[in-house]
Amino acid sequence: MMKFTLFSFSDFAAESRRAIALAFLCLLAACGNDASAPGASEPDPEGSSSSAAARPADVTSETMRNIDAPENVGDWMSYGRGWKEQRFSPLDEINHENADQLGLAWYDDLDTLRGVQATPLVIDGVLYNASIFNVVTAYDAATGEKLWTYDPEVSREWARLACCGPSTRGISAWEGKLYIGALDGRLIAIDAKTGEEIWTTKTFENTEPYSITGPTRVFDGKVVIGNGGADYGVRGFVAAFDAETGEKLWKFYIVPGNPADGPDGEASDSVMEMAAETWNGEWWTLGGGGTAWDSIVYDPDLNLVYIGTGNGSPHVQEFRSPGGGDNLFLCSIVAVDADSGEYRWHYQMAPGEEWDFTCTQPMMIADLEIEGETREVIMQAPKNGFFYVIDRATGELISAETYVPNTWATHIDMETGRPVETPTARLTQEPKLMTPSALAAHTWHPMAYHPDTGLIYLSAQEQWFVYAKLPPEEFNPRHWRVNSGFDYIHNMDKRRELQAEADEKEKGYLLAWDPVKQEEAFRVMHPYPGSGGVLATAGNLLFQGSVEKDFAAYRADNGDLVWKMPVQNVAIAGPITYMVDGEQYVAVNVGWGGSPVSALNKIPGGFHYSTARLLVFKLGGDAELPPMPARSDLPRPPMLRAPEAVVEEGARLFAETCSTCHGKNARGGMKDLRYMSKETHDEFLDIVLRGTRTEKGMASFDNILTEDEAQAIHAYLIARANEDWHDDAAKGGIQGEEDNNAQEQNE
pLDDT tens digit string along 81-111? 999 999 999 999 999 999 999 999 999 999 8
3-class state of residue 585 by DSSP: strand
Separation of alpha carbons 82 and 76, rounded Å: 8
Region 443-458: mean pLDDT is: 97
Any catalytic annotation for residue 242?
no
pLDDT tens digit string along 361-398? 999 999 999 999 999 999 999 999 999 999 999 999 99
Q: Residue 605 — pLDDT band, cuts 50, 70, 90?
A: low
Q: What is the pLDDT of residue 695?
A: 76
Q: What is the pLDDT of residue 628?
A: 72
- pLDDT of 13 > 80? The answer is no
Separation of alpha carbons 682 and 340, rounded Å: 56
More confident position, 373 or 595: 373
Sign of CA dihedral 518, 523, 529, 533: negative
Q: What is the pLDDT of residue 43?
A: 35
Among 173, 167, 212, 195, CA closest to 78: 173
> Which amino acid, residue 166?
P
Q: What is the CA radius of gyration of the chain?
A: 25
Region 619-641: mean pLDDT is: 80
Separation of alpha carbons 213 and 115, rounded Å: 12
- pLDDT of 25 > 50? The answer is no
Q: Please answer whether residues 531 and 542 qualify as being in contact, where contact means their C-beta atoms are separated by less than 8 angstroms.
A: no
Is the residue at 395 inside a domain? no
Region 201-220: mean pLDDT is: 95
- pLDDT of 38 > 90? The answer is no
3-class state of residue 592 by DSSP: coil
Is the residue at 736 inside a domain? yes
Q: Please answer whether residues 552 and 75 qualify as being in contact, where contact means their C-beta atoms are separated by less than 8 angstroms.
A: no
CATH label of the domain that carries residue 713: 1.10.760.10
Q: Residue 672 — pLDDT band, cuts 50, 70, 90?
A: confident
Q: What is the pLDDT of residue 729?
A: 57
Q: Which domain holds residue 740?
A: 644-745
- pLDDT of 670 > 80? The answer is no
Is the residue at 590 inside a domain? no
pLDDT tens digit string along 148-184? 999 999 987 677 667 667 899 999 999 999 999 999 9
Region 42-53: mean pLDDT is: 38
Q: Please answer whether residues 610 and 569 qualify as being in contact, where contact means their C-beta atoms are separated by less than 8 angstroms.
A: yes
The lowest-confidence range among 18-32, 90-104, 209-223, 583-597 is: 18-32
The lowest-confidence range among 52-61, 386-395, 406-415, 577-586 is: 52-61
Among 443, 369, 373, 389, CA closest to 163: 443
- Catalytically annotated residue among 44, 356, 672, 739: 356
Is the residue at 681 inside a domain? yes
Q: What is the pLDDT of residue 730?
A: 47
Region 432-452: mean pLDDT is: 96
Task: Indicate the average pLDDT of the chain.
Answer: 88
Instruction: Report the 10 Å Cβ neighbour count for 376.
Output: 16
Separation of alpha carbons 271 and 256, rounded Å: 9
Q: What is the pLDDT of residue 726?
A: 55
More confident position, 224 or 662: 224
Is the residue at 659 inside a domain? yes
More confident position, 389 or 602: 389
Q: Residue 693 — pLDDT band, cuts 50, 70, 90?
A: confident
> Which amino acid, residue 569?
N
Return the percentage of the chain with pLDDT > 70, whole number.
Answer: 86
More confident position, 696 or 557: 557
Q: What is the pLDDT of residue 54?
A: 64
pLDDT tens digit string along 250-272? 999 999 999 999 999 999 999 99
More confident position, 721 or 336: 336
> Which amino acid, residue 209?
P
Separation of alpha carbons 296 and 238, rounded Å: 9
Region 633-651: mean pLDDT is: 83
Is the residue at 717 inside a domain? yes
Burial class (CB in 10 A: 0-12, 13-18, 19+), 39: exposed
The lowest-confidence range among 215-229, 408-422, 655-669 is: 655-669
Separation of alpha carbons 321 and 290, rounded Å: 14
- pLDDT of 738 > 50? The answer is no
Return the percentage of the chain with pLDDT > 90, whole number.
Answer: 71
Residue 396 neighbours by CB under 8 Å, 6+ apart: 390
Q: What is the pLDDT of residue 33?
A: 36
Among 238, 184, 188, CA closest to 211: 184
Is the residue at 655 inside a domain? yes
Q: Name the strands in the sheet holding 248-253, side by side, starting at the edge strand that comes first in the sequence.
A: 217-219, 222-225, 237-242, 248-253
Q: What is the pLDDT of residue 115?
A: 87
CA distances from 291 to 63, 150, 680, 725 (A): 31, 28, 35, 38
Domains contained in the chain, number: 1
- pLDDT of 429 > 60? The answer is yes
More confident position, 677 or 468: 468
Is the residue at 693 inside a domain? yes
Q: Does pTM surpass 0.75?
A: yes
Instruction: Report the 10 Å Cβ neighbour count for 258.
Output: 12
